[in-house]
Amino acid sequence: MPGEIHFQTLAQLQEALASKSVSSVELTRRHLDRIEAVDGRVQAFNSWDEEDCLRQAEASDERRAAGKIKGPLDGIPVGLKDVIAVKDQPLTCSSRMLERFVSPYDATVTSRLKNAGAVLLGRLNMDEFAMGSSTENSAFKTTFNPWDTSRVAGGSSGGSAAAVAVGELPVSLGSDTGGSIRQPASFCGVVGLKPTYGLVSRFGLVAFASSLDQIGPFARTVGDAGRLLQVIAGHDPRDSTSIDTATPDYSKALAEKKGPWKLGIPREYFAEGLDPEVKEAIQAAIDWYADRGCEMVEVSLPHMHLAISVYYIVATAEASSNLARYDGVRYTHRSDRAEDVVDLYFKSRAEGFGEEVKRRIILGSYVLSSGYYDAYYLRAQKIRALIRQDFSKAFAEVDGLLTPTSPFVSFKAGEKTRDPLAMYLSDIYTISANLAGIPGISLPCGFNSQGLPIGLQILGEPLGEANLLAIAQSFERAHDFIDRHPNPSPPD
Amino acid sequence: MSGPHSIDIDYVAQLARLELTAKERERFSGQLGDILQHFAQLNEVDVSGVEPMAHAFPVENVFREDKSEPGLPPEKALENAPRKRNNMVLVPKVVEG
């Protein structure tokens, strides 16, 4: 197969495998070579098992030779954020707490990938337990931005985004609780989709904030994100919040839906704090949609400015409860300094959790504690309802909302680690989609003067993924941002 | 430390079963104070008559057929246990005497 295999799209690789111009073993080998060559500088992976990947690839090639391929991803390498369970593979959540944990079962998305024939290649770095916006909270390593390795890949799914951007993988999965797919996608110049809450099963996704968490795809094109979503979406009896509805055919929808659309510009997203170069790129995207006949309307989401506070109350409350299970007893790190069983909880948790996780457990325990519950948690849940109402009103009028994904481009490693509140505030444009449960996509819409990618976010109504993908793809096809690839230079 | 935006950090750490160092206590007190101060903006909103929202979509009880299915065998379930013996997790003594 000619050309740089590692920057081919999923669609191209599927074709190459189907026409037998490349084998899965060769494809997997070339991606492993790419990882060997660049991962020392990017640090997207926590681990990978070369022998196991090649065995999976061989099995795929045998199936294909026998004319018995399993599904659309047969032979395609797919990486998973290290928070999604794969039987007999490590599942660390980038935490000391689970450093030696090996998963005894598959997540539902993992089963779906296996049933589609995918080669599961590696565990991708993240902020510890998905808490963070830069992967700097990983207990093991920081994932650097392939466009400038002195900067962060974003987070919490930084490894999943960087690996796809730098050609270590054609596609990957991440999870998004407050922007953890869309923000790193924006920072790394790839496509990232957070599906509607309940579209993708959370079974086997290590829980951070259960009412907000959602698994979604990273890809280098919108179409590829749709292809991966097709495989992982759908009802699962093992997740009681999974929506029982038929999954649309996203590729068919992409071929049919051509617009023009009625698009909303929420004025609250363009207030102070937005980097001028980001603003310019988003404005250019808005103008592009207008020029091709989309009707543009200004809309208002009046409770938007409260979303950060609501989010960091709801998410930390749920996290403090979810993370109570890491007690040093059954499957986690255990302190050897403990004097009795209660001491074992205190010390194992002190040693196993990193600083951000501890901070959020404390905050979450506080907002749920007696005397503060009504003032914080209950009030936050009420304002969450108002935020959802704002979106419902907007989507009664428009097909999608156009916004920046992040107020700024990727920042320097270390720049925000000393000020947690500043880090939290950087999630301003992404978190309200999680609170409302609506889908959102980030796609490249330009580069700033330093050559760093800028992401356009499109938000849609619940279960409106087909529309979102179509709106995004029309922009992508008219621009050449996806043809640019980073080439992280070796350190001096 | 006291004031409208301070946390009794020792009490909350006790609730969370989390041992904190003196440095962590001091740092978290300051940082969480800033964060709580930010949260105070929520008091500006009139929420009377608003139903709290726990989930993005109405969630109702989801029932399935009461049918047994194979679970994890004990050996598999205990693979990650930090200490074990005779298919059981070992912990320090819980009951005195």
What is the C-alpha to C-alpha distance for residues A356 and A363, in angstroms, rounded to an integer?
A: 10
Instruction: Say whether A64 sits in a helix, a strand or coil.
Output: helix
pLDDT single digits (tens) A401-439: 999 999 999 999 999 988 888 888 889 999 999 999 999
Model pLDDT for residues A143-168, shown as the tens digit of each residue: 999 999 999 999 999 999 999 999 99
Please, what are the domains in chain A?
A: 5-268+279-300+389-483 (3.90.1300.10), 305-378 (no CATH)
Prediction pTM value: 0.97
The yes-or-no verdict on residue A25 having pLDDT over 80 is yes
The letter for the amino acid at B73 is P
Q: What is the per-residue burial (b if ≥16 Cβ within 10 Å, else e) of B59-96?
A: eeeeeeeeeeeeeeeeeebbebbbeeeeeeeebeeeee
Reported as a pLDDT band with limits 50, 70 and 90, residue B97 is low
Based on its alpha-carbon atoms, the radius of gyration of chain A, rounded to whole angstroms, reads 21
Percent of chain A past pLDDT 90, that is, above it, reads: 94
Query: pLDDT of B44-87, one tens digit each?
Result: 999 999 999 988 887 778 888 899 989 899 999 999 999 999 99
Catalytic residue annotation of A: 81, 156, 180
Interatomic CA distance for residues A217 and A226, integer angstroms: 8
Of A343, A421, A435, the CB nearest to B35: A421
Give residue A3's pLDDT. Answer: 58
* Chain A contact for B95 (CB, 8 A cutoff): no
Nearest to B39 among A313, A328, A435 (CB): A313
**B51 vs A: CB within 8 A:** yes
A84, with CB counted inside 10 A (0-12, 13-18, 19+), is buried
- Tokens representing B13? 């750490």
Q: What is the mean pLDDT of residues A159-186?
A: 98
A404 - beta bridge partners?
A: A456
For residue A220 the two structure tokens come to 């280098």
Reference A242, options B67, B42, B60; nearest CA is B60
**Do the beta carbons of residue A352 and residue A95 sit within 8 Å?**
yes
ipTM reported for the complex, 2 dp: 0.93
Our measurement of the distance from residue A1's CA atom to the centroid of its chain's CA atoms, rounded to an integer in Å, reads 30
Please answer yes or no on whether B81 and A330 come within 8 Å at the CB atom.
yes
Are the beta carbons of B82 and A362 separated by less than 8 Å?
no
